[in-house]
Chain A
């Protein structure tokens, strides 16, 4: 497999702007996850898709955040009206729909808010 791909790798934007990140999962994986990682911490779960259905959104995901996975393939994570506290690494992962299968992570998008 070619691995999980995320784009862009880095994003610098001004506070108040909207940003969108893309994730392309491993092709045969029907589960897709978004995590946020801040410096010195482990990844925190944001949301989960099974195929195109978004099945859980963490309370960390405020109304300014929206995620989609049209047609169960790639996914996008949009942050509207960015705030300083949104600065973090946003990680995407995917896995097979079988019990105990590990999640495979992309290299993330690092967001910096000026």
Chain B
């Protein structure tokens, strides 16, 4: 069973507009959730994580994510998108002490 779902293959926004990338999870208990970004021919770059505490977590490059336990969601957000935010974004959930399960990814395109 898929542990993480990213329902949108692609998200297109205009520069300066808000950006949201959706993620839902399906693990029991209190999840550890992560967002990563991948640029072409590069590895994954860590953006932010939720472990416990405040449902709104802030990360690198102006990104933030909101954890919603009742909706089992962990959507990534940025108030004002930049062209340089165009990349592939992955949501991940920790399955045990060390293993991550990744979503299929969402391609973000920010047009100038």
Contact = CB atoms under 8 A, between A and B. Distances in A.
Contact of A42 (B49, B94, B99, B105): B105
Interface size class of B (residues with CB under 8 A): 20 to 34
B101 interface: yes
Chief secondary structure at chain B's binding surface: strand
A80 B88 CA distance: 31
Interface in B20-72: 32, 34, 36, 41-46, 49, 51
Interface of B: 4, 32, 34, 36, 41-46, 49, 51, 90, 92, 94, 97-105
Interface of A: 4, 6, 31, 33, 40-45, 48, 50, 55-56, 91, 93, 99-100, 102-108, 110
14 contacts: A42-B90, A42-B102, A42-B105, A43-B90, A43-B102, A45-B99, A45-B100, A93-B43, A93-B44, A100-B32, A100-B51, A100-B94, A104-B46, A106-B43
